[in-house]
Structure 1
Amino acid sequence: MGAGAPALAPAANGHPDLSRYYTQKIKWGACKGSTEAMADATGHAKDVRCGHVTVPLDYAKPSTGTVDVAMIRMRSSASGKPRGSLLLNFGGPGGPGVSALAGSQKEFGFLSKGYDVVSFDPRGVGLSDPVSCGDADGDTEPVAGEGEEPAAVLAELRKVAKECEAKSGPVLPYMGTVNVSRDLDVMRQALGDKKLNYLGFSYGTRLGAVYAAQFPKKVGRMVLDGVDTLTEPVAEQSRVTAEGRQTALDNFLTWCTGNAGCVFGTDARGARQGMVQLIQDLDTMPLRSMSGEEFTGQDVVGVLGQALYSRQAWPALSQALGALLADGDPRALIRMSGGLAGGVGGGTGAVRGTGAVGEETPMDNMSAALMAVNCADDPDRPDAARIEKEVGKLQREFEEASPVFGKSMLMPVLLCFGRPPGTSFIREDVRDVKTPKLLLVGTRGDPATPYRWTEETARRLGPQAVVLDNKGDGHTGYLGSKCVQDKVDGFLLYGETPKSGSSCAAEADSAQ
């Protein structure tokens, strides 16, 4: 995927002819499968319809092929004509937006008073030609074991890269935020909107920032919540996220051991050691279901990575861990993850409650898409000699950052090896945007996107970026803070822009 400027208009100034994509209309119809079931469960099935837009795999060479991007729309409840569409991206990268909106219509009901609320599965995700690595990424150790040479690890990583290519089909080389941003503009046009109104969470903030740089004249009201970095390489992003998740886990264990009935007892330090031991024991001797499926320590890590994003989930997490430790029963933990298969982590995360997997989606799709996008977005690609030399050092750094999350967060860093270098567009060109005001929400206790990334991204985007400082905990602010929600709603619905530097106080602890 090349860097550089995208084709902004069909057949203009020598650009490839994109008119067939920019003139298409969306045919909305009933949602199917698990998406339909979720919509029915929320009681809004009649107001929710699904459709798709067709986009080129390669915007520079549209004849290469196409991909259908799945979409979902919750119709506005406005008595008059809505002000247009509001597109949501729930994060990841790799988070499915269709099932996420189907299952969270209540949370965005107030915004539907002014907008048709729309979400989508980005290319390679969910119902949009999902990528997959089969079981390869889950079986590969990211570091050399005792007596194993780093060269053997590189051989395994090359094998995984080939397996991903074989299982993913033609979309894999065209993953990445620059292309998804172009898809977003096709969706905007197909929805009939002159400007893109947008709410992006976590990784969705990277997508929004890229869109603002590519299509500044098409930006309407845009909110970026849980702001991602635009400059740090994949390795640093993953290390910082591992560190943040470890801090969130330590905070959870301190809370747990301070409450009666905590399965880890009353000593927070002992609880931290006990958690590490639990994961090691389950990796060595996994639990096995009647059907033969295994539940490993890394599966626990995957559930923790999602559950710790929301302080409101702590009581349920404590009970689920109690069932696992006391009875060897992982079912409550599995339910907390939405049934999503384990696999590796390493993105900035998706908003809680967005882990649903459709019948047509490979179980490893989210982790495979996450790796594909992060690799495509990062131009750094160390050669084999450097990887061999540094793999031990990286292992130590990630284990120091987090004895629990370090291993899983290192995996996607190493799995970029064997893939082509990514674009330099995001790092070099997403800056000093000429758009209307953008609202950036940063949460001080965010375990996935540290507050300093909000400040850094705001400086890069320029004076158009207005920062809202959320003093609370959890990943992103909109779904966890009434104050943040009110200010975001006011901005998106009524154009009320908070003063830069405005803050929302931490709300009362609801994890009782």
Structure 2
Amino acid sequence: MRRARTRPRPRLRIRTAACATALAAALTAAAAGPGPGTDPTPAIRWGDCPEKPVPAGMRCATLAVPLDHDHPAKGTTRVVLAKLPATAPGRGRHGSLLLNYGGPGAPGIASLAADPALFAKLGEHHDLVAFDPRGVGLSDPVSCGGVQTADSGSGADPGDPATQLAALRAEARRCERHSGPVLPYMGTVQVARDLDTIRRALGEEKLNYLGFSYGTRLGAVYAALYPKNTGRMVLDGVDTLTESFTEQALASARGQQRALDDFLVWCAHQDGCVYGTNTRTAKEKVDALVARLAEHPLTGTGGAPFTGDDAVLAIGSALYAQTSWPDLADALARAEEDDDPAGLERLAAPPATTPAGTPSRVPADNATAALTAVNCADDPDRRSDRDDPVTIAREIGGLATEFRAVSEIFGPRRLMTLLSCYGRPAGTDFIRRIDHPGAPRMLLVGTRGDPATPYEWTEETARRLGSAVVIDHKGDGHTGYPSSPCVRGYVDGFLIDGHLPSGTRACPAGE
């Protein structure tokens, strides 16, 4: 969903299998929470990093953490860390700052290695510590044996719900076969408990933490589990703690459409915008392009078809950062005027985490497999795979009009995510029950034009945490710290000096 770039953008990504796509199209037509662990303080030994290139001075280490923190006898899994030591400790060293780049499924080590300069000011005073969460990247990565397509049902009638749901069950079984023992323990609650193991291994009394996108969910869960161990915590691009999968999907479609509308307003003020200056008709033309490609795909690289779903993926990816808007405008112009999808293909391409030609020990589908595993482990609302397929089909089909009303192009894709956990074990309700955990005051950043984590989620999570100060970033794009000097000023001031404003503070767009 992302193209190669100099700095990976933290994001919340939600995908589902191709069979769920086919099923959704056909339908349109026809626990108690765990307690903190007590495992012994682990030893940590820094050495060379397992994959190159990395910045000068970066060191890596591997920790063994319990597969199941409630039942340590089940065995362990590996979590790989990376550290960049503080560059100016003489000015006042403040220990370690843990970073999480989102996902779920985003590798922290590769992300920090790609752009440590983003955190240069923080890195003067803190050891910057990134990690690949369990099952992600270098940390015993999960896999479904390739790209998740659930193509076991591809030869059958796409309108048959039973066949399509059976394909989803088969995909879940493939993930079990290829992922090893960590797969059943991929949820955020387990990762939060890994975080406390990391904190103790680093010798820190409190966890100082900066989390983006999904990393905000992880930070909130940590604060709920370990309020007395929580130090200075910043959550940027705030995830929801309360909404059901359906509500999340609707809010995400609404946020993406709002971001697309903002892009089209921007495009209308640029010379040569392919959609002209009328933003209402521009929206209709984008919808028409996606519909046209769904019926008549363009010919992409290597002769592969470039479909309407591919176009939605490309457009959605470009909306994550305003710096990508000129490329999106150019790509749409090439597709509209020349029937050339090359620009959109580049926007939809996943980022390179290792240089071309460099072998990696991370499976190609790890990010997708990990994202699905974590989101499903965190979701208590899933439909049982013992439910009647016709009933499930009727429920999903009944939502189609509501999703399309939110967004003609993003709504149907988000609707498809409602079946992404079909055939997997039931998730925890611990995250839904977080309410005023008693952690110290923390800083939350919400961006008004965020396509992935709507600003409303920032306000909602602030109420649930009961100890949060909100930065209202009036700009566009996913998260505020990478693009807004104003946001960085508040965040750096808090993490370095403990300066925390009262109430809600605003950061204007572009500042």
Shorter-chain TM band: 0.7 to 0.9
- 1:442 equivalent to 2:446? Answer yes
Aligned to 1:400: 405
Q: How far apart are 1:486 and its partner, in Å?
A: 0.2
The equivalences for 1:301-450 within 5 A come to: 301-337=312-348, 339-340=350-351, 359-383=360-384, 384-385=387-388, 386-428=391-433, 430-450=434-454
Partner of 2:58: 48
- Is 1:8 the equivalent of 2:37? yes
Whether 1:32 aligns to 2:37 is no
TM-score normalized by structure 2? 0.85
Between the aligned partners of 1:295 and 1:340, the Cα distance in structure 2 is 19
| Separation of aligned partners in 2, 1:62 and 1:377 | 21
Scaled by the length of structure 1, the TM-score of the pair is: 0.85
Q: Deviation digits for residues 437-476 of structure 1, max 9, x if unmatched?
A: 11111222222222221122111112x2222222222221
1:171 to 182, 194, 214: 182
Contact persistence 1:53–1:70 (CA under 8 A): yes
Cα distance in structure 2, aligned partners of 1:147 and 1:479: 43
Structure 1 contact 371–412 (Cα < 8 Å) conserved: no
8 Å CA contact 1:26–1:190 kept in 2: the answer is no
Number of aligned residue pairs: give it: 474
Larger deviation: 324-333 or 479-488?
324-333
1:140 positional shift: 6.2
**Residue 494 of structure 2 is aligned to residue 494 of structure 1:** no
Structure-2 residue corresponding to 1:350: none
Establish whether residue 185 from structure 1 lines up as the match of residue 196 from structure 2.
yes
3-state SS of paired residue (2:149): helix
Alignment-mate amino acid for residue 308 of structure 1: L
Is 1:132 aligned to 2:135, yes or no? no
Aligned-pair CA distance for 1:206: 0.8
Cα distance in 2, alignment partners of residues 381 and 271 from structure 1? 37
Map of 1:503 onto structure 2: 506
Q: 1:232: how far off?
A: 0.6
Q: State the one-letter code of the partner of 1:438.
A: M
Residue 491 of structure 1, CA deviation: 0.2
Q: 1:245 to 1:111 in 2, by over 3 A?
A: same
Q: CA deviation at 1:284?
A: 4.6
CA deviations 1:337-370 (Å, max 9, x no partner) are 56359xxxxxxxxxxx99x998333333222222
Alpha carbons 2:301, 2:342 under 8 Å: kept: no
CA distances 1:82-127 after superposition (whole Å, capped 9, x unpaired): 3111111111212221111111211111110110111111112222
- 2-side partners of 1:168 and 1:380: how far apart? 24
* Mapped contact 1:70–1:127 kept (Cα < 8 A): yes
One-letter amino acid of the counterpart of residue 411, structure 1: M
Q: 1:124 & 1:364 partners in 2: Cα distance?
A: 12
CA gap 1:50/1:301 in 2 versus in 1, 3 angstroms = farther
Once the two structures are superposed, residues 135-187 of structure 1 have per-residue CA deviations (whole angstroms, 9 ceiling, x without a partner) of 57435699xx9982333332222222222222322221111100010111111
Distance apart, 1:291 and its partner CA: 4.7
Question: Letter of the aligned partner of 1:368 in structure 2?
Answer: A
| SS of corresponding position for 1:46 | coil
Rounded to whole Å, the distance in 2 between the matches of 1:179 and 1:135 is 25
Shift of 1:289: 5.5
Q: In 2, distance between residues paired with 1:442 and 1:235?
A: 22
SS at match of 2:362: coil
C-alpha separation between the residues in 1 aligned to 2:301 and 2:445?
45
Residue number among 95, 107, 114 corresponding to 1:103 in the alignment = 114
Cα deviations by residue, 1:166-213 (Å, 9 ceiling, x for unpaired): 232222111110001011111111222111000011111110010001
Q: Distance in 2 between matches of 1:290 and 1:303?
A: 15
Please give the secondary structure, in 2, of the residue aligned with 1:47.
Answer: coil
* RMSD between superposed Cα atoms in Å: 2.9
- 8 Å contact kept, 1:444–1:470: yes
| % identity of equivalent residues | 51
Q: d(CA) in 2 for partners of 1:425 and 1:63?
A: 23
In 2, the alpha carbon distance for the partners of 1:254 and 1:141 equals 43
Q: Pick 1 or 2: higher relative contact order, CA cutoff 8 A, min separation 6.
A: 2
Instruction: Confirm whether residue 457 of structure 1 aligns to residue 467 of structure 2.
Output: no
Q: How far off is 1:325 after superposition?
A: 4.0
| Range that drifts further, 490-499 or 94-103 | 94-103
1:208 equivalenced with 2:209 (yes/no): no
SS in 2 for 1:138: coil
> Hey, what's the Cα distance between the residues in 2 that align with 1:47 and 1:397?
52
- Spell out the pairing of 1:260-279 with structure 2 (5 A cutoff): 260-279=271-290
Structure 1 residue 240 displacement after superposition: 0.6
**TM superposition shift of 1:329:** 4.5
Distance 1:301 1:51 in 2: 39
- What is the aligned partner in structure 2 of residue 151 from structure 1? 162
Partner of 1:15: none
Where does residue 222 of structure 1 map in the other structure? Answer: 233
- Which has the larger displacement, 242-251 or 264-273? 264-273
| Structure 2 stretches lacking a partner, 5+ long | 1-30
1:61 aligned to which of 71, 91, 96: 71
Separation of aligned partners in 2, 1:335 and 1:51: 34
Deviates more, 1:419-428 or 1:63-72: 63-72
Q: Conserved in 1, the CA contact under 8 Å of 2:36 and 2:225?
A: no
Q: Give me the whole-angstrom Cα distance separating, in 2, the residues matched to 1:366 and 1:295.
A: 22
User: C-alpha distance in 1, partners of 2:451/2:301?
Assistant: 35
Q: Assess, with a 3 A threshold, how the Cα gap between structure 1 residues 105 and 175 changes in structure 2: closer, same or farther.
A: same
